Amino acid sequence: MTTTNPEVVQGAEDVAHAVEAGMPQLDFSTFPNQIFWLVVTLVVIYLVLTRVALPRIGSILAERKGVITNDLAAAEELKQKAVDAERAYNEALAKARTEAAKIVAQAKAEIQADLNAATAEADVAIQAKAKESEGRIAEIRDGAADAVTAVARDTARELVVALGGQVDARSIAGAVNARVRGKA
């Protein structure tokens, strides 16, 4: 047996009626009600946006803008400090180069003075050695000349004796001395 529930039957009739009528959003008889609720919904959304969401977004944007502005100012300040530091570095480098050039020039002058003094001392020592050597050479030359003269006298005496002549020491000495001086 089949029993029917009156509520189920009513629900089925409502569904059938809805299917016949089409989509309720397109039913012109419900447009005023739909427009009312649309306006209410839009007003609520507008109020929520203007009272809650947009002030928060605005404060976040303002905070970001402030942070960006502060960061740009800090960056500009740091850039200026970097430029000042670079300028100070370049000035210090130029001063250091100038000081180094002065030190090098002073060291060169000291080295040149030491070199000049050493050269002067060496020249004096060389001149002293040269005079000493000249004196020794003169002594040797004189000694050699005396030795040559003595050898020449002895040789002349021996030759005169070997040739069978009479040895006269004065005449041999005079002849040898004249020859040594280059007069004979």
For the chain, the structural domain boundaries read 28-181
Residues 6+ away with beta carbon under 8 Å from 178: 184
Alpha-carbon gap, residue 166 to 153, rounded angstroms: 14
1 three-state secondary structure: coil
Q: Are 151 and 179 in contact (CB under 8 A)?
A: no
Instruction: Let me know: does 151 contact 172? Beta carbons within 8 Å.
Output: no
Note the pLDDT tens digit of each residue in 42-66.
999 999 999 999 999 999 999 999 9
Using one digit for the tens of pLDDT, what is the confidence trace for 89-142? 999 999 999 999 999 999 999 999 999 999 999 999 999 888 888 888 888 887
pLDDT in tens, 20-46: 657 777 888 888 898 999 999 999 999
